[in-house]
Structure 1
Amino acid sequence: MSAPATPVSAAPVSTAPVSTDDVARVAALATRARVASRRLALLSRADKDAALRALADALDAATDEVVAANAEDIERGRRGGMDEGLVDRLTLTAERLAAVAGALRDIAALPDPVGEVVRGSTLANGLQIRQVRVPMGVVGMVYEARPNVTVDAAGLALKSGNAVILRGGSAAESTNRALVGTMRGALEAQGLPADAIGLLDGGRGAVRALLTARGLVDLIIPRGGAGLIQTVVTESTVPVIETGVGNCHVYVDAAADLDKALAIAVNAKTHRPSVCNAAETLLVHASLRETFLPRVLAALSEAGVVLHTDAAAGGVAQSAGTPHVPATAEDWDTEYLALEMAVAVVPDLDAALEHIHAHTSGHTEAIVTEDRAAARRFTTEVDAAAVMVNASTRFTDGGEFGFGAEIGISTQKLHARGPMALPELTTTKWIVEGDGQIR
């Protein structure tokens, strides 16, 4: 049995010493970002959209430079024994970079949340009150080997009027420097402050200095493996929006359309296994043990998936000659980020719900069923940021939801939950207009 993939740079930063140089570096970066954020807050939508398109054009023009920098990171990662699933996350081809640049243009086409009136009224005393969306200010992003996050975060921050401080994983160091350098140059060419997009260098002490820069940084968003996220949540004195790992389940109900179920299960696992919305566990109703389970196990195995089976699923696999390994207790809580999947047979919907309650990470859960009552129970009782009915877990994504891009997927319950895009990068303020009223 191969080991689950371990995210790059996921080791806790809490034990790292914070030097005076770390504190000074973060303070200087955040102070410049604060000045830039005040400038961004004054921009019109047209100004921000033009800047986003300029960033996209600059990335297109710098394709050769960025891809070459990315090749350095990939070579260094492979020399260090990086898992191939993580190499896939790290890789930025010309085609992927074009898609990343395209996401910036998509963001430019989205409505600007800044200034949106959330609610308002005129009081009996004549005071006019309204709650409006305003930028957060300075947002810190701490993430791992996903260079597209560098661009998505910068673009979403710019559109929502925020300055951003980026701290990507060391595995993508060369790529991130090329991306941020290109975007900062494009901002300057537009007459905008380059410090609206900052890149934090240094080791884990610098990260800890960022997490404790309360008063200089308004919000921290971690994105990566469980170790990184929990360290940020635990150690940060700056407010955090918690994103989470994706231990996602697909449950195939007794009333499922089996062709739909086969397509969904295979897609959810194999379409891109190294991302957080890929399914990690397949639950199959016991009534489908002889009809559906052999088909799906064979299809997954043929797609290269290592199957970690419970006793019932293992028996079916054994009879069919499908390769498999016995599941351990740890497998049900593992985010593989690779072509591996845990499979269990459950006696009924109640057992499926109990299994999910026990092991979910609160990201995305899916049911395949033609029984509306079962679907209703599943969507009501499952506690997750996204719940799918007859659809792949791979759809939990800001782009797929029509947001243009996302800065992360929140698994918490306050302020933001699920794919986070522009509105989630704003806060609100109350504006009260009167005509001399006193209390």
Structure 2
Amino acid sequence: MALRARAASRALQSLPSLQRQLMLERLANSLEASTEEIMAANSLDVQQAQGKVGDALLQRLVLKPAKIAQLAAGIRAIAQQAVGPQLGADLIGLVTSREQINDLLALDDVIDLVIPRGGNALVTFIQRNTRIPVLGHADGICHAYVDAAADLDMAVKVVVDGKTDYPAACNAIEKAAGVTVHSDCPQVLAVCGPLPAPPAQRHEYSSMDVSLLVVPDMTQALQHIHAFGSSHTETIITEDAAAATAFLTGTDAACVFHNASPRFADGFRFGLGAEVGVSTSRIHARGPVGVEGLLTTKWLLRGAGHIVAKDTGVTYTHKLLPLA
């Protein structure tokens, strides 16, 4: 399957833009036409998973018609490409067993990139068992730092949204209405009384739970974030412009926000069209990744018998040219 997909991808490179657009339009139409079939299969998956996985993972497993429509819209948003009969179904393959995943992860000479979409266990397994580059993140441990100069009403609004809008999401705050607060911080316990301790300083709940910590200043906050965060999304709530700038520039994360919910860390909200994933890597694409983040460079050179044997002392000049 991987070899056929590689061959099809090379044929795809030479297609004109219009045919590529038609290809993706057909793919989007096919996705929408198969909504009932997809929903029926998803319903079986959810039934089989009940009682076997946590509520957070089960929530992420549920697929709704609106999500399928969103996927189709995303395909149309990047429509620059159409499957002609010479390419056919080999452009898209379906893996149906865990054994096939292991086989595919060994094909580093054929597969360029793996984008795992799933929980921590899946992403970590793939990262540890392949030499293929992996785009993504195993953890989404995010923080909201409420500064001394914060508007407390705004802080409550941002923190509650960051945790409760979709607690299973990787950009949900880990540090609110129906939320269990965990803390072993003396200052917190002195005010709130006994609370359950956090499972660990570095822990992604993916549920209606948060950890709460009091720090003396931003320096301590950043030290904690850098020690226990996952470089995904961090936010500061403050009315102090200097503090906001210090946090925005001093925080090592793919997304850093000021007075905004971390739930904005999303390719669709960023205007990237169809998001293919979120990367916390420091190489190549970082943060929410759209199609542009998957592109690499190809250099085309037209000459008239030019050689480099006698270019010593030659001054090269360069100018921008329109793409062919």
The TM-score, its normalising length taken from structure 2, stands at: 0.88
User: Structure 2 vs 1, CA of residues 409 and 32 (structure 1 numbering), >3 Å: closer, same or farther?
Assistant: same
User: Structure 2 vs 1, CA of residues 403 and 357 (structure 1 numbering), >3 Å: closer, same or farther?
Assistant: same
SS of 1:243's partner is coil
2:196 is the alignment partner of 1:326? yes
SS of 1:48's partner is helix
Please report how far the alpha carbon of residue 47 of structure 1 lies from its aligned counterpart in structure 2 after TM superposition: 2.0
Aligned to 1:260: 154
**Aligned partner of 2:2 among 27, 30, 36:** 30
Aligned to 2:302: 433
**Aligned partner of 2:53 among 75, 78, 82:** 82
SS of 1:199's partner is coil
Aligned to 2:132: 238
Amino acid at match of 2:298: K
In the TM superposition, 1:306-345 aligns within 5 A as: 306-309=180-183, 310-318=185-193, 325-328=195-198, 330-345=199-214
Q: Measure, in 2, the Cα distance between the counterparts of 1:43 and 1:355.
A: 50
User: Structure 2 vs 1, CA of residues 242 and 87 (structure 1 numbering), >3 Å: closer, same or farther?
Assistant: closer
Where is the helix percentage greater, Structure 1 or Structure 2?
1
Aligned to 1:371: 240
- The aligned length equals 307
2:90 is the alignment partner of 1:195? yes
Show structure 1 runs of 4+ deviating over 6 A.
Answer: none
Give RMSD over aligned pairs.
2.0
Q: Measure, in 1, the Cα distance between the counterparts of 2:88 and 2:294.
A: 20
Aligned to 2:35: 63
Please report how far the alpha carbon of residue 400 of structure 1 lies from its aligned counterpart in structure 2 after TM superposition: 0.8
Aligned to 1:94: 65
SS of 1:414's partner is coil
SS of 2:174's partner is strand
Q: Measure, in 2, the Cα distance between the counterparts of 1:367 and 1:337.
A: 21
Q: Measure, in 1, the Cα distance between the counterparts of 2:111 and 2:101.
A: 13
Q: Measure, in 2, the Cα distance between the counterparts of 1:42 and 1:364.
A: 38
Aligned to 2:257: 388
Q: Measure, in 1, the Cα distance between the counterparts of 2:32 and 2:123.
A: 32
Aligned to 2:179: 305
**Aligned partner of 1:360 among 205, 220, 229:** 229
Indicate if the aligned counterparts of 1:331 and 1:342 stay in contact, CA closer than 8 A.
Answer: no
Please report how far the alpha carbon of residue 382 of structure 1 lies from its aligned counterpart in structure 2 after TM superposition: 1.0
Aligned to 2:319: none
Indicate if the aligned counterparts of 1:63 and 1:94 stay in contact, CA closer than 8 A.
Answer: yes
Q: Measure, in 2, the Cα distance between the counterparts of 1:307 and 1:77.
A: 28
User: Structure 2 vs 1, CA of residues 314 and 51 (structure 1 numbering), >3 Å: closer, same or farther?
Assistant: farther
1:26-66, CA deviations, whole angstroms, 9 ceiling, x for partnerless residues?
Answer: xxx11110121112112233222222222222222222211
Q: Measure, in 1, the Cα distance between the counterparts of 2:15 and 2:120.
A: 37
1:268-315, CA deviations, whole angstroms, 9 ceiling, x for partnerless residues?
Answer: 00000111011111xxxxxxxxxxxxxxxxxx1xx2111102332233
Aligned to 2:322: none
Please report how far the alpha carbon of residue 433 of structure 1 lies from its aligned counterpart in structure 2 after TM superposition: 2.0
Where is the strand percentage greater, Structure 1 or Structure 2?
1
Greater RCO, 1 or 2 (C-alpha within 8 Å, sep 6+): 1
1:85-116, CA deviations, whole angstroms, 9 ceiling, x for partnerless residues?
Answer: 212111112222222222222233xxx5xxxx
2:278 is the alignment partner of 1:409? yes
Indicate if the aligned counterparts of 1:363 and 1:411 stay in contact, CA closer than 8 A.
Answer: yes
User: Structure 2 vs 1, CA of residues 44 and 243 (structure 1 numbering), >3 Å: closer, same or farther?
Assistant: farther
Indicate if the aligned counterparts of 1:247 and 1:363 stay in contact, CA closer than 8 A.
Answer: yes
Q: Measure, in 2, the Cα distance between the counterparts of 1:91 and 1:411.
A: 25
2:25 is the alignment partner of 1:53? yes
2:116 is the alignment partner of 1:222? yes
